[in-house]
Each structure stands twice: as C-alpha cells, then as structure tokens.
Amino acid sequence: MSATTPPEKMMFQLTLRRRGISDQAVLRAMEEVPRESFVEQTDRADAYCDTALGIACGQTISQPFVVAYMTEQLKLQKRHRVLEIGTGSGYQAAVLSRLAGHVVTMERFRTLADGARRRLEDLGYHNIEVMLGDGFAVPEQLGPFDRIIVTAAMAQIPDELMQRLEPEGILIAPVGPPHGVQTLVRIVRTETGFDRKELVDVRFVPALPGVAKEL
Ligand code: SAH
C-alpha cells in the first residue's frame, strides 16, 4: 500500500489481517484485484466492505474474507493448475490467478460465464479459462488439477471430483445443507488416500446440477 491508497482499501486490508489472514502473497493478491470491477454498478460504493453482494442470475460474489481464507488454505504455487467450480463474477478466479499458473473456472449460467470472461479479459488476466459447464460433470479431457476450489454449497464432495486431484493435491469446498450454514472442508490427497479437515462455517449459494436452462 502507498500514501495514495484510498482509505476503503486500507480498511479492507486491515479487516483481512484482523480476521487472521497472514499470508503476504494472498494479501497482495487481494490488494491487486479491483473488487469494484466485479460487483454490480449500484454496489460499487460497498465493493470493499467485507460482505457478499448480489450479482446476476440470483447468485452472489463471496465475502472477501472467505475468498482470502479459501485462497490461503490452497497454498498456491506458480506451477499449479487450479480448477474453480462456480465462477460467478470471476472475482475468486482473479485472486487465484495472481498466485497460480493457470486457472480453469466453470459456471452453469451462460450470462455469468460470458460476463466473467469479458471482465477478466478487460482486466488483463490472461491465465484464466472461463468455461460454461457443470461442476458435477467436469470433462475428463481437462485432466487432473493440483488444486480444486468449489464456491457453491455441496451436500457432499463427489468422489469423481476428489479423483481429479493430483497426488498431494488440495481441494476445498463448502459442505452442508443448500440453504443453511455449511462447513468449509479441506481434502488433501495423500499416498494412501484422502485426509479430510473441517475448517470454518460459511454460507454459499447451492451448487445445482446441469448447465442452467435460463440464461
Ligand atoms: N466464486 C464466485 C462466487 C460463486 S457463487 C465469485 O467470486 O464471484 C456460486 C456460483 O456457482 C454461482 O454463480 C452458481 O451459478 C455456480 N454454480 C452452482 N452450481 C454449479 C455447477 N454445478 N457447476 C458450475 N457452477 C455452478
């Protein structure tokens, strides 16, 4: 941050630190990505408040703390290929792209996928591929991933998704009832199987099967 950093962005960083985000690279990525470009025009004044906000198709852009927390838990490196399920506005994908090598992000609403693709291109984030598709049926040819992040609530983590992890890969997903409180679960692929750890309570919009029929 510099002398010209606007006060709301200073507060934004302070809030993330106070809530326990300590990874400098994650804090830098959160500082770099302009959240105001990912929210609705009418919400721009609130872009740096630590709250989720509504976007098109009845979906939400996640709360910044949760974006930073999930990103920190992924322990990203520049060589990593990352899969995100639930593009929404594209904000989480943008943050991931600052720390990983390549991000594939999948969204079931065409309106959101097209909007996010355009926005990310305009901002010059060239290592992100936005795909229209169903995160419950990720095409085989996309191959395995070093990291997988699910940003919509799932009743349980599908085994097929866990099988897409590289050895020592990490997956993080909100698990629980679709319209209640979920628990963020972290899965690590080990030599013998999968380690599972429950982290914090969160609230995400539900993951729904299939590409949306409406736009
Ligand atoms: N990560 C987003 C917020 C995600 S909101 C951001 O940074 O803005 C959850 C998103 O997941 C919604 O856009 C919803 O349409 C999408 N989604 C739900 N089920 C899905 C599925 N099966 N496949 C792909 N996307 C899905």
Render pLDDT for 47-89 as a digit per residue (tens, 0 to 9): 999 999 999 999 999 999 999 999 999 999 999 999 999 999 9
**pLDDT reported for residue 30:** 98
Tokens 């490196």 map to which residue? 77
Q: How far apart are CA 126 and CA 100, in angstroms?
A: 12
> pTM, whole model, 2 decimals?
0.97
- CA neighbours within 13 Å on the CB side: how many for 127? 16
- Helix axis angle, 64-73 to 24-32, nearest 10°: 140
CA of 87 to the centre of ligand 1 (A): 5
- Active-site residue 62, yes or no? yes
CA of 135 to the centre of ligand 1 (A): 9
Ordered domains of the chain (ranges, CATH): 7-202 (3.40.50.150)
Tallying the residues shown for the chain, one arrives at: 215
**Residue 156 pLDDT greater than 90, yes or no:** yes
Confidence of residue 3 (pLDDT cuts 50, 70, 90): confident
**Residue 165 pLDDT greater than 90, yes or no:** yes
**Ligand 1, pocket residues at CB < 6 Å:** 59-62, 85-86, 88-89, 91-92, 106-109, 112, 134-136, 151-152, 205, 207-209
- Reduced to 3 states (helix: H, G, I; strand: E, B; else coil), residue 212 is coil
φ and ψ at residue 169, rounded to 5 degrees: -70, 160
